[in-house]
Structure 1
């Protein structure tokens, strides 16, 4: 029932599962904070984001290219673009994920319960369906 990582859990997840963690150096906390804001801490969205970043990172390493720098990792999170400028690959992966499909099926009241759970790290919604605004 608990679909969200706390900010500390996001940081632990990044430490354990982000292949490019070492490239973050002293920026790991900031990276984890941005990931938490981007995903609302939602476990499935965090996993999808890290998997997409890992794909880019490992592809570069396997092809003998320079691995992603901390700044490139931040750019990918902030712009949603993985390789090309403004390709939005990350955002497409997020909206195509099972987590996104499941969240779209929730009623508005169910979303409110998820967003306002006690101890939530922020008041930002996990998902905002702008196509169906209440009248």
Structure 2
């Protein structure tokens, strides 16, 4: 009989990943540029608390950027912040997600007077969360 310790560890890791993938749903974050039409695009740069950077994005009016992730199974929480700039005057870091297991998805609308959010889907009722 051949014993493979690393095979058991690999199988255990695969089983754990499958369980976490099944039990822990993906969280979705979507940010939409709802600024007035003009020459400026919305600059967006997001990162997690672990400094996982999601890259730089330029969104024209009506465009959106979204990503999904799973809550950290060991730590149990996740945080994302986004830096947004529109034109020369509006620049700010916004907290867009701080959550734990069972936390719902978030949809954001970036507007001239601030950042609005809803958890009721992209066509839900948005509430102002932050001002510029």
TM-score, length basis structure 1: 0.25
Bigger share in helix: 1
TM-score (norm 2): 0.26
Larger Rg: 2
- Greater share of residues in strand: 2
